[in-house]
Amino acid sequence: MPLHPTILDVTDRIRHRSAKTRETYLARIQAAAHAGPNRAHLSCGNAAHAYAAMGDDKDRLAATRAPNLGIVTAYNDMLSAHQPFESFPQLIKQAARAAGGTAQVAGGVPAMCDGVTQGQPGMELSLFSRDVIALAAGVALSHNTFDAAAFLGVCDKIVPGLVIAAATFGHIPAVFMPAGPMTSGLPNDEKSKVRQKYAEGQIGRDELMAAEMASYHGPGTCTFYGTANTNQMLMEFMGLHLPGASFVTPGTPLRDALTCAATDRALAITALGNAYTPAGEVLDERAFVNGMVGLMATGGSTNLVLHLPAMARAAGIILLPEDFAAVSSVTPLMAKVYPNGLADVNHFHAAGGLQYMIAQLLDAGLLQDDVKTVAGPGLSRYTHEPKLSQDTLVWTDGPDTSGNEKILRPASDPFKATGGLQDMAGNLGTGIMKVSAVAPDLHMIEAPARIFEDQEQVKAAFRAGEFTGDCIVVVRFQGPRANGMPELHGLTPILSVLLDRGLKIALVTDGRMSGASGKVPAALHVSPEAALGGPLARLQDGDILRVDARAGRLEVLTDGALDREAATPDLSANTHGTGRELFELFRQSAGPATLGASPLLPTEPQT
């Protein structure tokens, strides 16, 4: 089917807007590719340092032109999503030797968990950890001795940071190797009910802890459709995983076979062979538009609206909020995965998963097939699913029907005609709302504002019984310049309780809430942020606000509200403790949320 005119228009608009920056970027990576891996020109002393610990691989590294794969890993054993990576390097090295190449762990990158730091001071380091990860991966690859890179990462900021690094070293191929989701535990909706009961004081901490441990119970990614699993979807839609790799559980023969196959493929697509596929050419404007389509079709995490512009800018491509809005306007919402529904990602995968969805969206003209991927040319390769046949990995045609239409529906008969994310704009600034789980009668709320300057103030007001009528909760001074833009996930249970009591409640904030906002209508990432004198800093209790997801409007209706002096609270407490001292330069340098909130990448608007 011909490409949908809106998708074509968005792609052309991005290409035109990015012409100069993309041309500069491509020239730079082409020059790096022409120079080749520096190991060919190392002095004997340099080479001895690089190969000293490589044992039986020393001769192959020093005396041949066999491809060498650099592994950048986010392994740690305190996070379930990254613990499986402990065994990956040995498996990758064995597969590389079998393929005639070599592999070395080039370096590690930090991997913090928002689930651990929610509501804690450490959460204020979370967003900027993306940029630290990009820097750390850059250090790992700076030895310039690798023909390709294998990136091992899964969760919130880890994959975006690794993609920024992959784009920066765009002259070498980059293959992302996931660990997969944990097996299903306590259903997410049951866990959510327990959290609400705890928020209302109906149960104690022991019952809450038992529910949480039954939900997050083993190795692998959390099974709800938050940022981590949205990242995995994105890597398939953008052609950086092998087809069907995203949602295969850890510790299974198929998972190991996919890791070995990804190693083989990484070595096959270096400049030493005939299928050279540098990461910078995979990461073009078509890949990013395909990623946006996947985000909307799955109702993915709002965090990706922050990360995609930052990833794109590392590849010389400029994404703006209106691109997301345009893509959302024509992309059907095909999936219902918690918090958008009751299913988890394992149920989604079993129902047909990404292979069914990609096939449907290609047939509908909403995805672009003429892209480069690590698996070869054409996104249609990603309609095939991996299977083991007598211990041999093969790809077969993916399903042509959904296995469960309560979870996954065809593009022609979706859950909603438009995407799961809504761009918001008005006299309060610009933001984003995840509407895929929000009840239709909450898509437009007009109510008095309650103004707070951190989420603890909201929790205290809830405990004091102050929420007795409809209101719009404004939590300001939560942007990147104020305190690093932490997630406000801790507000979800209490705001959900208020909705269950029959109140109409919405949230407006210059902070984040990820894919976990659930049924709460939440206008997030509002920019310009309050710390820079944005409109939210001028609001007072009682101002009448309108949050209208139907029209995409975010407005204050009270006359003269925006003529007031901006509030200037004392933010000094955000600058120290739990390592926050080390991030002052990041806070001072962060760009606006609309452009990725990165302290590393250029953020000036360009045309």
Residue ranges of the annotated binding site for [4Fe-4S] cluster are 155, 222
Q: What are the residues facing 522 on neighbouring strands?
A: 507
Residue keyed to tokens 């066999």: 66
Q: Report whether 315 contacts 286 (CB < 8 A).
A: no
Secondary element (H or E) of residue 188: helix 188-199
DSSP class of residue 171?
T
How far apart are alpha carbons 465 and 460 in whole angstroms? 9
Residue 445 CB contacts under 8 Å (≥ 6 apart), including other chains: 470, 472, 504, 505, 506, 521, 546, 547, 548
Closest CA to 74 of 241, 226, 228: 228
Residue keyed to tokens 């609309």: 594
How far apart are alpha carbons 263 and 424 in whole angstroms? 42
Closest CA to 592 of 286, 328, 313, 326: 313
Q: Report whether 146 contacts 38 (CB < 8 A).
A: no
> Annotated binding residues, as ranges?
155, 222
SS3 76: coil
DSSP characters over 383-448: GEEEEEETTEEEEEEPPSS-S-TTTB--TTS-SBSS-SEEEEEETTEEEEEE-TTS-GGGSEEEEE
- Pairing assessment for the beta strands 544-548 and 372-373 based on DSSP bridges: unpaired
How far apart are alpha carbons 336 and 404 in whole angstroms? 11
Q: Report whether 400 contacts 359 (CB < 8 A).
A: yes
Residue keyed to tokens 């049924």: 519
- CB neighbourhood size of 584 (10 A): 12
DSSP characters over 140-166: HHTT---SEEEEE--STTHHHHHHHHH
Q: Tell me the CA distances in angstroms from 494 to 200, 213, 342, 458, one per residue in order.
A: 8, 21, 20, 9
Amino acid at 166: A
Residue keyed to tokens 């790096």: 32
Q: What is the CA radius of gyration of the chain?
A: 24
Secondary element (H or E) of residue 475: strand 471-475
- Pairing assessment for the beta strands 174-176 and 102-108 based on DSSP bridges: unpaired
DSSP characters over 276-320: ---HHHHSSHHHHHHHHHHHHHHT--THHHHHHHHHHHHTT----
How far apart are alpha carbons 315 and 164 in whole angstroms? 8
Q: Report whether 134 contacts 165 (CB < 8 A).
A: yes
Q: Kindly list the strands in the beta sheet with 68-73, ordered across the sheet, starting from the edge strand earlier in the chain.
A: 102-108, 68-73, 148-152, 174-176
